[in-house]
Structure 1
Amino acid sequence: MCLAQTTDEQKTAHIFTTLQSDPARLALFLRQFPKGADLHNHMVGAIYAESYLKWAAQDGECVALDHGQILSHACTGHDKGEMPAAALAGNPNAENNMIDALSMRDFVPTANDRSGHDHFFATFSRFFPITQKHAGDSLAEVKDRAAQDHVQYVELMISPGLGGMIAAGMTHPLKGEDYAQAEQALKPLLPKLVTDVRHETDEMEQQAQHVLQCGTPQAHLGCGVKVRYLYQTVRTFQPSVVFAQLYAGYEVVRSDARFVGVNIVAPEDNVIAMRDYDQHMRMFQALNAQYPDVKLSLHAGELTPGLVPPEGLAHHIRSAVEIANARRIGHGIDIAWEQDATGLLAEMAQKKVMVEINLTSNDVILNVKGKSHPFALYRRAGVPVALSTDDEGVSRGNLTQEYLRAATTWPLSYKEMKELSRNGLIYSFIPGKSLWADGHLVSACQDMTSKTCQDFTAQSEKARTQLDLEKNFTRFETAVAHNPLLAE
């Protein structure tokens, strides 16, 4: 992306190059580095185990030590291996075992817990009972951590009202792939399903505002982090349930501006997810015709050879791009194993389909790390990429950690690091025109202080957010250029 360099930017670029062989100072540099967005972030997976255990203790809930699970009730005193969550503070061994069970911290395979993949996905059912009551606390934690990490915007995947959608799908069987008939059967239920989503989201945001003390002199920095939502549907149910979720999710995006897109989640290698993958893509295709303005970011290609048969690696990313018309792809790890991968990469570059890169997650779940990751392949092909966290609480990370992994694995320049940060906002689903077009500032903002630029950004929420990022870069570079800890 082209923008005339200032003296401070030149100094910062030089300092960044020297710090790539100094991990401690590089971490200090990147912690403060302005990060445009985290576009791939599951809220329930973003919460650290310590928070879930704290909330369980506050609620008087019980934990099952043998299973590493938070229970949805108080201890009865009759079951062995159970302990009040409040008692964990006095038992460090039990508390540490629970934290390890609810996250990837210190994970070591055992005969009964054989892989990072299985341990990772098992954590969600272990902490699920505490998640719904503390959605607002969770949102507050995500926003506070983003602020501490200098992340400007987060596009959170959440699933409010999911139970009603699942029930609707269970009671209205899908006849083959007659989606028009399914829509007619489900349409009378849509108003209540959407109202339930809005109500749960309202409650979550109100609770978060209270926790963050927004609007008071004690307001947390997290109050300043912009958040929008992707409605997160689950792919491991029968087709009628998946379609009901998607149909309601599209309607939520159409009717509630806080929701800017739809995604589909759960392990892609799951038997049902693999069996029904192509049908799910056709569901998106059918709903796109009814809701042409709804944007999609889809998990696709979170697979490796051996995890599924070779034919299972052949087309998931392509189908997400060509059939479902996804604007963004989450993970995309198996790109090299897709049929005509070279042609697909060229198509993604031409269509500007961005890939959400989750380096820590791909390491702990799939054991894909270092230069084995396709990050550099996508960039070589001209496919836009941005860094994201996936499930930073379960993975025990943050967005700075993702930038650190990238900077210490590939020979990235400071200019390229800024491009990764800017991409997070360029390919976000924030409404409005972008400040950037084909790597250049739009003509109205060649001078970002001009009246024409002020007029342009006044009409675009996205451009205003991007302009704030540029101002943050300027402040950061001024600070770095005059920081004796970072200078040579």
Structure 2
Amino acid sequence: MILRIVTTAFVLVGSIGSYAQTVNAYFETIRDNHAALTAFFSQMPKGGDLHHHYSGSIYAETFISYAIEHDYFINRKTLKVSDKQLSDDWVTFSTLRREGTLADYRQKLFQKWSVKDYNHVDYPSDKLFFETFSNFGIVSRADLDKGLLEIKNRAIKENVSYIETLFVNVPCETELGELTAFAKTLRNQQTSHDTVACLNLLDSLYTIIKANGIRECAVTYNREKLARLHHDLNIDDARFTMRYQSYVIRTLDPIELFKSMIAAFESATDSPLVVGVNLAAPEDNEVAMSDYWLHMVMFRFCHTKYPSVKISLHAGELALGLVKPEELTWHISSAVHLAGANRIGHGVDIPYEANCYDLLRYMHQQKIAVEINLFSNEFILKIKDDKHPISLYNDFGVPIVICTDDAGVLRSNLTDQYVLLAKRYKWVSYTDIKRFVFNSITYSFIEEESVKKALLADLNQRFIRFEKSIPAIRK
């Protein structure tokens, strides 16, 4: 019954068209041919990428070029990069060029800033992945205009019409030293799971933090940085649309994290370009794990203060062996029921969730989509094939969206995610894939209804043209 309901909903969204049988027949003949699938999905319209980190989506080549152009300093031993010389071990990239060693260091940075050449033996894959972000840190904040245009132009060439990227981390220098003592109280409330007391304390903290100019920080950032970049670069056009998520780093001290969260929600309230709030950083980090419940209560609080703001949460990006078994049983349900998430990122540990079936039914009923990141889950968590819960989500009618996560770090793209999907999961038909593509627009957080309708209409026309091209290929 669930699958029939989902299929019906898809027919209402996207026209299957008179060429569908031919396309599906051709698709089935190439299921085990990687090159043929790559060609097929390269040409196929792919709608949107909803689980997308700006800095993790820029390829290392680009960041290295930024570092060379700005003549940053690099530590010869650690390969850290800075705009300042911090000791004698730090030299400029122009120095490397004069020495004739620039090519060698460039190759080392490829391996430090991405998964290129990783041998799956010498270093933990999850540690390598997450360390790349701090490794290219300062470089990722340089030349944002070039980075956004790189993402846009690559998306257009790949037949991707929409990207929703984690981009906004509102800077605010407001000092809240007098509030740090409340961190211990919040953690005590977490130990006792005293939701009511925690919400009451957060309300008091919220009033104080709001009075310290948090909204002003968000508005200033939106208008002087984000809007200027977006509009001056003409990011939106007839072929492509981009929107942004504001995010919070889940490894921060509770007071700093709550301040950052308020700024994120204020940013999303202020501008239609900022369409949601997310939570980033490794979920298995010691602070992230110990404060997870507290973070979910904070999101619940902010959801009541900013009810129109959408929430997508990295939740369940865990695997057996990475954390203790009991830690796999509650993160997704807390993100859904406690924090009020509208979408879930990853959701890999769903089979271990307590009351898993009830949770899946609820996600289906409430149309809480799951963002599936196949290559990312394989690389970081070693979860692939039938260990991955994508079929479980599909069987219960949870809306599925196929995403990249961090294409630059992983040296991948959205096309490759669909190739993996088709090769690994034979139950996935062309009709299913088309439904997943339309889901990427339907379950986007775009605020302007006219923009979402235009993207859906454009996607339908793209599919009509694509499907008409398949008979020609078969001849």
Under TM normalisation by the shorter chain, which class is it? 0.7 to 0.9
**How far apart are the structure 1 equivalents of 2:386 and 2:363?**
21
Measured after TM superposition, the shift of residue 10 of structure 1 is 2.4
Alignment partner, residue 382 of structure 2: 367
The C-alpha deviation readout for 1:128-150, integer Å capped at 9, x for no partner, is: 01122222221111111111111
The 8 Å contact of residues 235 and 266 in structure 1, kept in 2 or not, is answered as yes
Give, in angstroms, the shift of residue 35 of structure 1: 0.7
The match for 1:318 among 333, 345, 369 is 333
1:191 and 2:215 correspond: yes
Describe the SS at the equivalent of 1:299. Answer: strand
Match of 1:462 among 444, 452, 456: 452
- Check whether the contact 2:72–2:92 (CA below 8 A) recurs between aligned residues: no
Hey, what does 2:464 align to over in structure 1? 474
Aligned positions of 1:206-221 closer than 5 A: 208-209=233-234
After TM superposition, list the pairs within 5 Å mapping 1:136-215 onto structure 2.
136-162=145-171, 164=172, 167-168=174-175, 172-173=179-180, 174=182, 176=186, 177=198, 178-188=201-211, 189-198=213-222, 199-205=224-230, 208-209=233-234
In structure 1, C-alpha distance between the alignment counterparts of 2:381 and 2:153, rounded to whole Å? 29
Question: How far off its partner does 1:179 sit?
Answer: 1.2
Structure 1 range deviating more: 268-277 or 346-355: 346-355
Give SS of 1:296's match: strand
Structure 1 window deviating more from structure 2 (6-15 vs 234-243): it is 6-15
Aligned to 1:10: 21
Quote the offset at 1:370 in angstroms.
Answer: 2.2
Deviation, 1:473, is 0.4
Provide Cα deviations, 1:206-237, integer angstroms capped at 9, x if missing partner. Answer: 6644xx8x9xxxxxxx8832001110111101
8 Å contact kept, 1:45–1:124: yes
Q: After TM superposition, give the deviation of residue 110 of structure 1 in Å.
A: 5.6
Structure 1: runs of 5 or more not aligned: 215-221, 434-459
Structure 1 position 89, deviation (Å): 8.6
Identity of aligned residues (%): 32
Aligned counterparts of 1:244 and 1:85: Cα–Cα separation in 2: 41
1:195 partner letter: V
Matched, 1:420 2:432: no
Measured at CA, do residues 108 and 256 of structure 1 come closer, stay the same or move farther in structure 2, by a change above 3 Å?
same
Residues 377 and 384 of structure 2 are in contact (CA less than 8 Å); yes or no, is this contact kept in structure 1? yes
Distance between the aligned counterparts of 2:33 and 2:270, measured in 1? 49
Cα distance change of structure 1 residues 133 and 91 upon mapping to structure 2, 3 Å threshold: closer
Equivalent-residue separation in structure 2 for 1:403 and 1:103 (angstroms)? 21
Instruction: Give the 3 Å change call, closer, same or farther, for CA 314–97 of structure 1 in structure 2.
Output: same
Matched with 2:192 is: none
One-letter amino acid of the structure 2 residue matched with residue 137 of structure 1: K
TM-score, structure 1 as length reference: 0.86
Equivalent-residue separation in structure 2 for 1:89 and 1:6 (angstroms): 59
Distance in structure 1 (CA, Å) of the matches to 2:140 and 2:100: 20
Is the 8 Å Cα contact of residues 168 and 244 (structure 2) preserved in structure 1? no
Which shows bigger deviation, 34-43 or 67-76? 67-76
The aligned counterpart of 1:28 is 39
Which residue identity is paired with 1:181?
S
1:300–1:330 contact (8 Å) kept in structure 2: yes
> 2:126 aligns to what?
117
The separation in 2 between residues aligned to 1:151 and 1:410, in whole angstroms, is 22
Change (3 A) 1:327 1:108: same
- Tell me the SS of whatever aligns to 2:412: coil
Cα separation, partners in 2 of 1:341 and 1:65, compared to 1, 3 Å: farther
Structure 1 residue 292, shift from structure 2 partner: 1.0
Q: Which residue of 2 aligns with 1:407?
A: 422
1:129 matched residue in structure 2: 138
Q: Is 1:429 aligned to 2:445, yes or no?
A: yes
Q: Is 2:74–2:90's contact at 8 Å kept on the other side of the alignment? A: no
Question: Displacement of 1:171 after TM fit?
Answer: 5.7
Structure 1 residues 263 and 121: alpha-carbon distance in aligned structure 2, compared to 1, 3 A threshold: same
Kindly report which structure 2 residues correspond to 1:269-308, keeping only aligned pairs within 5 A, or say none.
269-308=284-323
* 1:398-425 deviation line (CA, Å, top 9, x unaligned): 1001111101101121111101100101
CA apart distance, 1:172: 3.8
Cα distance in structure 2, aligned partners of 1:423 and 1:136? 29
Q: Is the 8 A contact 1:62 1:85 kept in 2?
A: no
Aligned length: 444
Q: 2:75 aligns with which of 64, 88, 91?
A: 64
Amino acid at match of 1:190: I
Comparing 387-396 and 183-192, the one that deviates more:
183-192
Give the drift of 1:195.
Answer: 2.9
Per-residue CA deviation, residues 14-54 of structure 1 (Å, 9 max, x unaligned), is 11111212221211110011011100001011011110000
Cα pair 1:39 1:155 within 8 Å, conserved: yes
C-alpha separation between the residues in 1 aligned to 2:276 and 2:16?
35
Distance (Å, rounded) in 1 between the aligned partners of 2:209 and 2:255? 10
When the two chains are superposed, the root-mean-square deviation of aligned CA atoms in Å is 2.3
Give the 3-state SS of the residue equivalent to 2:19 in structure 1: helix
AA of the residue aligned to 1:230 = Q
Q: Distance in 1 between matches of 2:247 and 2:218?
A: 14
Map 1:213-362; keep pairs closer than 5 Å. 224-362=239-377
Structure 2: give runs of 5+ residues left out of the alignment.
1-9, 187-197
User: Counterparts of 2:140 and 2:175 in 1: how far apart (Å)?
Assistant: 22
* Residue 256 (structure 1) shift: 0.9
Residues 64-97 of structure 1, C-alpha deviations (whole Å, 9 max, x = no match): 3432332223698x42787548739964333222
TM-score with structure 2 setting the length: 0.88
Distance 1:74 1:203 in 2: 31
Aligned mates of 2:232, 2:96 — CA distance in 1: 23
> Which amino acid in structure 1 is aligned with residue 463 of structure 2?
F
Distance 1:171 1:128, change over 3 A: farther
User: Structure 2 counterpart of 1:194, which letter?
Assistant: A
Residue 408 of structure 2 corresponds to 393
